Each structure stands twice: as C-alpha cells, then as structure tokens.
Amino acid sequence: MAHKTLLLTGAAGALGRVLTEALAARGYNVRATDRTAYPGPLPAGVRFAHLDVADYAGTMRAAEGVDAIVHFGAVPVELSFEEIAQANLRGANHVFEAAKANRARVIFASSNHTVGFTERAQTIDEDAPLRPDGYYGVSKCYGEMLGRMMFDKHGVESAHLRIGSCIPKPLTKRHLSLWLSYPDLIRLTLACLQTPDLGFRAVWGISKNTRAFWRSKHWAAIGYAPEDDSEKFASEVDMTDTGPVAERFQGGDFCANGYTRSGPGPADLP
C-alpha cells in the first residue's frame, strides 16, 4: 500500500474523525493528533497524541517516518488575523517542513473560501482566479501557494482539497452546489493518497452535485469518482438565502461577514 503511515492533524474534528475511522479501517497506520482530546473511543490500532501544529518541534516529532500528512488541523472559520495566523499560517509551514524532512506527501484541507467571492452564476474549474472571502480564505490560499513552492523547489507533493460543505446532508440552497458527502470525502482522500503522481494540485472537494458551482480538471487524473449527489435532498433544504451579499457569491455568509461596501460590488469586477 502506498503512503501507508500517516500523520493526521485535526483528528478530533468532525472530518478528522471520519478520516481516522475510514483510514484505519482500510489498513493505514494512522497517527491521529489534535490539540483537543479525541472524543469517544479510538478505532482499533490508532494511536492518538496531543499536537498543536503551531508548535514547530512538536509537529516535526509527530511526523518522523511518515509517508503522508493528512492535514485537517486548522481554524475552520473566520476569526481574527492573529488567531488564524497561528494555526493556519504557522501550522501550514510546520506541516510542510515536516513533509519535506520525511519526503512525505501532504493532503491539505483547503476550502471553497479560497474562491468565495466568485459569483454563484459562474461555473469554474480549479484554475479560476483566487477570490478569498476573509482571512480564513486567505490562509487557505497561503497553504496552496506554500504547496506550489514546496513542490517546485523541493519536490514535496500535495493536494489541496477545496472542500465545499462537508456535512452529513445538505441543509441550504448553497449546500446543493457545494456539498461533499462523508463517503466522497473518504474517496477523495484515498485517491490523493493512492495516485502515483500527485504533484501539486488544488482540487475541488465536492460530490457529483447536479447543481455544482465547479467542474474539475483533476478528478479523473487522480482517480476520484464521487458517487453522491445533493440533488436527492433538494426538496428538504431551506431555499431562502441570508441576504444579497451571501446570496450572490459562492462563499455565502463568509462573504457577508464583516462586509463594508455600501452595496454589492459591480458585477464586472475583474
């Protein structure tokens, strides 16, 4: 099995727990870490250790001898720049330094908020311009640029999963376009671990939703074949939106959060 020994950061979070169980069940040797305790019993064979990725030495120690780092340990929402900088900027650096030292591959939880200010009416591929919708989105763009540099300069491979809304089932109109089911999250992560030549890629992380905002240039190449479609929940979701800014852009409420323009920007902003 390729990339068998894994460091998983953020293992105690909702997606981290899904991945801890799924990867352990498939025979990966998972070193699960987080800065908070793992809730509930650990899957058989999984070792858990406390790790704050803002701690350089701790991250280097935790990654000794691993084949891949599945990096989900970050601030997942918009907060102050200082809070985001610790986990998401410093943490990303430490993870990539550890990957470089171990010749390990990085599977990095990036986000739809790298392109949040893209109009919902647009369908884009992964080469569309970055349009982050806050410091959180900027931090994920930073992770992607770090991955780009680390591959070009040091040959460290990475996939940056631009995850939409990864929840058990879609709840809003926006989710219909951005939903990533848990089984598809697992498929996407496995594809990135198993594909022989990953290189550097920023990859959409959604299911095969009928109403997707995105089409992917990379899914076929890495062997990701999503199986779920949010459409089967369409009659159950809340179709109201939370205001003109959130409604207009793919990032939704993250775009409206702290927005200080007097009205929505012109449609033809370059």
Catalytic sites, residue numbers: 136
C-alpha span between 252 and 169 (Å, rounded): 17
Contact 242, 259 (CB under 8 A): no
State which residue, 171 or 221, has the beta carbon closest to ligand 15L: 171
- Smallest separation (angstroms) from ligand 15L to the CB of 65: 30
Contact 136, 200 (CB under 8 A): no
Segment near ligand 15L (CB under 6 A); pick from 19-27, 31-39, 105-113, 194-202? 105-113
Tell which one of 59, 88, 93, 112 touches ligand 15L (CB under 6 A): 112
Interface positions, 137-176, toward ligand 15L (CB under 6 A): 165
- Smallest separation (angstroms) from ligand 15L to the CB of 188: 15
C-alpha span between 192 and 198 (Å, rounded): 7
Tell which one of 3, 17, 71, 113 touches ligand 15L (CB under 6 A): 113
Helix axes 182-194, 14-25, angle to 10 degrees: 60
C-alpha span between 133 and 140 (Å, rounded): 11
Residues linked to residue 201 through DSSP beta bridges, in sequence order: 159
Question: Does residue 93 interact with ligand 15L by CB under 6 A?
Answer: no
Give me the residue label for tokens 């449609």. Answer: 267
7: phi then psi, degrees, rounded to nearest 5:
-100, 125
Question: Does residue 76 interact with ligand 15L by CB under 6 A?
Answer: yes
Residues 6+ apart with CB under 8 A from 265: none
State which residue, 58 or 73, has the beta carbon closest to ligand 15L: 73
Contact 142, 95 (CB under 8 A): no
Question: What is the size of the binding site for ligand 15L (CB under 6 A)?
Answer: 6
- Smallest separation (angstroms) from ligand 15L to the CB of 13: 9
- Smallest separation (angstroms) from ligand 15L to the CB of 108: 12
Question: Does residue 77 interact with ligand 15L by CB under 6 A?
Answer: yes
Question: Does residue 181 interact with ligand 15L by CB under 6 A?
Answer: no
| Helix, strand, or coil (residue 154) | helix
- Smallest separation (angstroms) from ligand 15L to the CB of 205: 10
Which of 132, 129, 15 minimizes the C-alpha distance to 76? 15
Segment near ligand 15L (CB under 6 A); pick from 34-42, 51-59, 110-118, 224-232? 110-118
Q: Which residues bind ligand 15L (CB under 6 A)?
A: 76-77, 111-113, 165
